[in-house]
Structure 1
Amino acid sequence: MKKKFLLVAILLLTNSVIFAQDLVQSGPMVGYSTMREVLLWVQTTKTAEVYFEYFEKENPNQRFKTEKYTTQMKYGFVAKLVANKVLPGKKYSYRLFVDGKEVQRDYPMEFQSQTLWQWRTDPPEVSFAIGSCTYVNEERFDRPGKPYGSDFDIFKSILKKGPDFMLWLGDNTYLREADWNSRTGFLHRYTHTRSLPELQPLLASTHHYAIWDDHDFGPNNADSSFALKNTASEIFKLFWGNPTYDVIDKGGITGYFQWADLDFFLLDNRYYRTSNNNFTGTREMLGKAQIDWLINALASSNAPFKFIAVGGQVLNSEAMYENYATFPKEQKYLLNKIREARIEGVIFLDGDRHHTALSRMQESNDVYPLYDLTCSSLTAGSNNNREKLNVYKLEETLVGQHNFGILTVSGPRKERVLNIKILDKNGNELWTKDIKAQDLKYK
């Protein structure tokens, strides 16, 4: 009789675990990290009560819980909860509970708080992944023919490199014709991409930050005239975990975050953008308000490397497709302001182009070189564009296959060095380059 009751209890426990698993649509995902709080994200399959339990890996007996939140269909069944009892420089394990039942995963669920190094030690080594252009196939909504997305195991390769966080550089999902004319369509597409099985382990233990480009904003080449741009902003903020959005109070997704001694400026190249075909007035990609905020923020930064993330290429000298050279007056305004303010340590990061390339621009010996690292594509179709007319490109850095970047900043506080590695879908190195912070200063 005891064996029978034990068997029933085991079956009930097993069923409850399976039921809890079935209530999770995608995630959990780790969002921003600070010294005192970390964002945790998850999406359920239907209305459910969600919370997280977390604990220091070195002290598992002391456990903390986030607030509880009931997911709603109106908001895509998404929950964004803050772990607000963390201490600086700690690594944590966490658990997800849905309707009171723990969700099991066969991969780690971990996060870290940022280190309090100021006035104490040199800044810690920082490693982060970059990439853009993630297309996940869905046959009934895709164009007929060969699937456009492939090599989804690239996300497992990124995870194996163990970055502290990943910075997504736009086109992080691809809205289709059936998606971009309704809020329902936006929710479906973001949900479908976020639910990719190969992506889940990376989401669970690597912190994530993001900007957008046209395909996760609206139709191809979408601009400020897009009627649902406020819906686009709403859904983007719902599915990503940046610490700030719309810092210029204009409605877009402009943001900022800091990791160790590095500053990241997240720009919006869509919400304020003039149509590619409109030449009747002032042409803008970023808009004066956003650029002026950026220059002021850069001027306030003491970071040895100031990473500016933009959806499209900034330094390509050839005006083609949607790069910044197609907005020459505004491009000149931005670059002139950076020089005029004598801002040091600038590195542009962008995607969009479905190939990878590093550009280097130095107007004279009196200024340091500006770098623009384009990193694309993760899973969307790739190409072998050679950027023939781009006078700034470094020929040896052109990559025409699925790839991602791992950027590592290391060394003493006054001698920081940035190492860039571009890797293929399997994590094999394609090229590497070191840039010293000292070489990005005015003489």
Structure 2
Amino acid sequence: MKKVYLVLVLYLLLFSCTSRKTSTTLKPTKADFTIAFGSCNKTNLANEVWDDVLAAHPDVWIWGGDNIYADTDNMGTLRYMYAQQDSVPGYAKVKSQIPVIGTWDDHDYGLNDGGVEFSAKKESQQEFMDFMDVPQNSPRRQQEGVYTSHDYDMVNGKVRIIVLDTRYFRTSLTPDTDTKKRNKPNRYGEGTILGEKQWKWLKNELKASDADFNVLVTSIQFLSNEHGFECWGNFPHEVDKMKKTIKESGAKGVLFLSGDRHISEFSRDKTVGLSYPLIDFTSSGLTHAYRGFSGEPNPFRVGEVIATESFGVVGFNFADKVAHMKIIGVNGDILGELQQSY
């Protein structure tokens, strides 16, 4: 009898230690359309937020890049790691209930901090398309780069999600040899992030959009520009070009979603000359975070930096023209919020 009791105790202890607490803090966002997104996801680390993603009841999940950490030009290895991610029970459940879209960053692209020079980018693109369940006959498989757009028409409004590729065409970075930072801005006018074809496509996507909200998914940060890591600020002329493109397009409710940094934060720029400020909502990382974060400059920051595992939620309200943004941690804890009217 004592042996049976001991086995029962050990069984209960085992399962109580490995089970997750159900999300109680996060309530489904009251919105007409809800996005959940995240980045920086290692297949060999536990992802503790998939149940919290489901608890948010999003209409779509967006991969923001570094969806796996492969760093390889071996397509067999890349394919195996994507299959590993697909087999994660929490993610498989998300895929079965929510549409999944997104982009890549350097580690799933295949080369750390890589860009146009990556020799296996065409092959890697096809593996990414397989992971994203893009049909074999999709024009997206024939183009260079993984950029695309998705329209979501609701009863009382519309959201256009424009997914950018900041890897396939991105030219060289300039190493910073004067400070301890990794990179410094290129000489103004030197280099590109999106490349000529993608820029032309993006201009058309924004100009032709009749959506109430236009969401730009960029794997690297758009606004924060002083930390020395990868960001749009390394190509200052491309930042100006983007702001000009948005302004001239007349697109409504433009919002950036970014990743890469292993921290989550909100950035806001009121100087673009639009009727609303530009927001860059950074959400990173899903399985690992920059827990040693001790501060860095960001002239556009709103609120605090979150340096623990998290994902992002954006709820759109069409009648009030409001986007309600939340940084969500493990067990559904709301770690940061920002509301923006458009």
Normalising by structure 2, we get a TM-score of 0.80
Structure label with greater radius of gyration: 1
Q: CA deviation at 1:366?
A: 6.5
Q: CA deviation at 1:385?
A: 3.9
The letter of the residue matching 1:266 is V
| 2:62 equivalent in structure 1 | 167
Q: CA deviation at 1:416?
A: 2.6
Q: CA deviation at 1:337?
A: 2.3
| 1:188 equivalent in structure 2 | 80
The letter of the residue matching 1:175 is A
Alignment of 1:117-196 (within 5 A): 125-137=32-44, 149-150=45-46, 152-176=47-71, 180-196=72-88
Alignment of 1:182-261 (within 5 A): 182-241=74-133, 250-260=143-153, 261=158
1:336-381: CA deviation from partner (whole Å, max 9, x where unpaired): 2222334331101110000001110011676531111111111134
Range with bigger deviation, 418-427 or 265-274: 418-427
SS in structure 2 at match of 1:398: strand
Range with bigger deviation, 347-356 or 292-301: 292-301
Instruction: Evaluate the alpha carbon distance shift between residue 346 and residue 411 of structure 1 in structure 2; reply closer, same or farther with a 3 A threshold.
Output: closer
| 2:264 equivalent in structure 1 | 356
Distance 1:134 1:292 in 2: 31
Distance 1:249 1:242 in 2: 11
The letter of the residue matching 2:316 is V
Distance 2:227 2:307 in 1: 20
Instruction: Please point out which of 235, 253, 275 is paired with 2:172.
Output: 275
Range with bigger deviation, 244-253 or 323-332: 244-253
| 1:399 equivalent in structure 2 | 306
The letter of the residue matching 2:208 is S
SS in structure 2 at match of 1:265: strand
| 1:369 equivalent in structure 2 | 277
Cα pair 1:383 1:401 within 8 Å, conserved: yes
Distance 1:276 1:404 in 2: 28
Matched, 1:297 2:190: no
| 1:22 equivalent in structure 2 | none
The letter of the residue matching 2:163 is L
1:303-325: CA deviation from partner (whole Å, max 9, x where unpaired): 12110001100111316211010
Cα pair 1:248 1:254 within 8 Å, conserved: no
Higher relative contact order (CA 8 A, sep 6+): 2
The letter of the residue matching 1:300 is A
Q: CA deviation at 1:160?
A: 2.0
Instruction: Evaluate the alpha carbon distance shift between residue 386 and residue 343 of structure 1 in structure 2; reply closer, same or farther with a 3 A threshold.
Output: farther
The letter of the residue matching 2:43 is V
| 1:326 equivalent in structure 2 | 234
The letter of the residue matching 1:216 is D
Cα pair 2:272 2:278 within 8 Å, conserved: no
Q: CA deviation at 1:247?
A: 5.8
Cα pair 1:248 1:289 within 8 Å, conserved: no
SS in structure 1 at match of 2:61: strand
Instruction: Evaluate the alpha carbon distance shift between residue 247 and residue 386 of structure 1 in structure 2; reply closer, same or farther with a 3 A threshold.
Output: farther
Distance 1:420 1:245 in 2: 32
Normalising by structure 1, we get a TM-score of 0.62
What percent of counterpart residues are identical? 28
Distance 2:283 2:78 in 1: 25
Instruction: Could you tell me which runs of 5 or more consecutive residues in structure 2 were left unpaired when the two chains were aligned.
Output: 1-30, 176-185
Cα pair 1:130 1:166 within 8 Å, conserved: yes
Structure with bigger strand share is 1
| 2:339 equivalent in structure 1 | 434
Distance 1:224 1:158 in 2: 33
Matched, 1:416 2:318: no
1:168-209: CA deviation from partner (whole Å, max 9, x where unpaired): 111111104xxx122211111111222223322212111111
| 2:160 equivalent in structure 1 | 263
Distance 2:150 2:200 in 1: 18
Instruction: Evaluate the alpha carbon distance shift between residue 245 and residue 335 of structure 1 in structure 2; reply closer, same or farther with a 3 A threshold.
Output: farther
Distance 1:290 1:382 in 2: 31
Cα pair 2:225 2:231 within 8 Å, conserved: no
Q: CA deviation at 1:296?
A: 1.9
Range with bigger deviation, 342-351 or 238-247: 238-247
Superposition CA RMSD, Å: 2.5
Instruction: Evaluate the alpha carbon distance shift between residue 182 and residue 317 of structure 1 in structure 2; reply closer, same or farther with a 3 A threshold.
Output: closer
Cα pair 1:246 1:253 within 8 Å, conserved: no
| 1:8 equivalent in structure 2 | none
Aligned residues: 296
Structure with bigger helix share is 2
Distance 1:245 1:349 in 2: 25
Distance 1:309 1:272 in 2: 16
Cα pair 1:382 1:401 within 8 Å, conserved: yes
Distance 2:294 2:251 in 1: 30
Distance 2:335 2:321 in 1: 23
| 2:297 equivalent in structure 1 | 389
